[in-house]
Amino acid sequence: MRGQVFSGFLAGAGQNMKIILIGYRATGKSTIGLLLSEKLKIPFVDTDCLIEEAAGMPVKKLIELKGWEEFRKRET
């Protein structure tokens, strides 16, 4: 049943589709997002990468230096 639902979802996907994955840290959102983008032939954007580019440092370093509050602010 689950496979049928997913196949139907993929069949109806178009270039204008946007998928947002949310969840706890280190649960595979980036991995699944990349796989979906390849399968659906749509762009993939990882917000952690955007934050790192804007901050000029890895997320881990940003959190160490400026705290979780700053990271969450940039994330939203």
pLDDT in tens, 21-72: 999 989 999 999 999 999 988 999 999 999 999 999 999 999 999 999 999 9
- Are residue 32 and residue 16 in the same domain, yes or no? yes
pLDDT for 14 beyond 70: no
> Are residues 35 and 67 located together in one domain of the fold?
no
**Number of structural domains the chain divides into:** 2
Match 């940039």 to its residue by tokens.
74
Where on the phi/psi map is residue 38: left (φ > 0), alpha (ψ -120 to 50), or beta?
Answer: alpha
Tokens 């440092």 correspond to: 57
Domain that holds residue 5: 1-45
Residue 10: the pLDDT is: 66
Check whether residue 34 and residue 62 sit in a common domain: no
Give the global pTM.
Answer: 0.71
Query: 30 with 58, same domain?
Result: no
pLDDT grade, residue 2 (50/70/90)?
low
**Does 41 share its domain with 63?**
no
pLDDT at 18: 87
